A and B are shown apart, each in its own frame.
Chain A
Amino acid sequence: GQQVMQIPQYQHVQEGEDFTTYCNSSTTLSNIQWYKQRPGGHPVFLIQLVKSGEVKKQKRLTFQFGEAKKNSSLHITATQTTDVGTYFCAGRGSGTYKYIFGTGTRLKVLA
C-alpha cells in the first residue's frame, strides 16, 4: 500500500536559521498537502500542491512538489519561535479518498 516517509524526524535550529523537511511517497500522488501541529494541538492545514513541479510560497514558507509527483519539500526561511511544531505532509493517490500522512518532522527553534 501507499507509504509516505518524511525526514528528518527532529530538527533543532537557532532562531533565524533555515529549515527544510522532505517527504517521499512510495506511489505517485494526485496531490500533496502540508499540515502544522503545535504542541498539544491538532493538525492545521497549510497548503495543497497539485501540479507536477509546482512551487508555492506563503511568506517565509516555500513548498515544492516533485516532477514525478512522488516527493515534496517544505522550506522555512529565517525561522522564528512561532514556527515551533510538527510539520506533516499528507498525500492522496489518484482515485482514492485516503490521505496518508508522513511521519512528521518536529521543529524546535532555539531563541
Chain B
Amino acid sequence: NAGVTQTPKFQVLKTGQSMTLQCAQDMNHNSMYWYRQDPGMGLRLIYYSASEGTTDKGEVPNGYNVSRLNKREFSLRLESAAPSQTSVYFCASSGQIFRTAEKLFFGSGTQLSVL
C-alpha cells in the first residue's frame, strides 16, 4: 500500500508561472486535504474535499484552485505563482471523519520554491 502519494517532490518556479501539484490516495478515503507548512506557522489548511464532487476553502485559499478529479485524486493548482507561495505542501486524506477512528494520513510533501 502506497498510502498518499504526492508529485512532484521538489519544484522551482518563476513568478507568474503556473503548475499543478498532484495527490492520490489508495485507501478508499472520502476526505482529502491540502496544507501548506511555513516555518513558525504550523500547517495551514488551503482547501479540502469532504467527499468526491465537493471542495471547500480552508484558512488560506487565495491564489490556489483545487480539483477533486475522482475519489482517489485531489490536485492543487497555482495559476500564477508568487514568492509568497514558497512553502512545503502536504496532501492528506481520511476515511473516518465523524466516526470513532478519525486520523489524517499525510503524503511526503512537495517543496516548492517561487523565485
Q: Which residues of A contact B (CB under 8 A)?
A: 1, 6, 9, 31, 33, 35, 41-45, 48, 50, 88, 90, 92, 97-104
Contacts and interface: CB of A to CB of B under 8 A. Distances in A.
Contact of B43 (A9, A44, A88, A98): A88
User: Which residue of B40, B44, B48, B102 has the most chain A CB atoms within 10 A of its CB atom?
Assistant: B102
User: Which residue of B40, B43, B106, B107 has the most chain A CB atoms within 10 A of its CB atom?
Assistant: B43
B50 to A, nearest CB: 4
A47 to B, nearest CB: 9
Given A103-B41, A104-B42, A97 B106 contact: no
B12 interface: no
Given A1-B59, A42-B108, A101 B43 contact: yes
A101 B106 CA distance: 13
Contacts of B19: none
Interface in B11-55: 31, 33, 35, 40-45, 48, 50
B104 A45 contact: yes
Contacts of B115: none
B97 interface: yes
Interface string B94-112: 0001001111111111000
Given A101-B43, A103-B40, A43 B90 contact: yes
> Could you tell me the dominant secondary structure of chain A's interface residues?
strand
Nearest to B96: A48
A91 to B, nearest CB: 11
Interface string B71-115: 000000000000000000010100001001111111111000000
A31 B102 contact: yes
B31 to A, nearest CB: 6
Contacts of A44: 106
A6 B41 CA distance: 10
Contacts of B90: 42-43
List the 9 closest pairs (A to B, CB-CB), nearest first: A103-B42, A101-B43, A42-B106, A45-B103, A97-B50, A104-B42, A101-B42, A43-B106, A97-B97
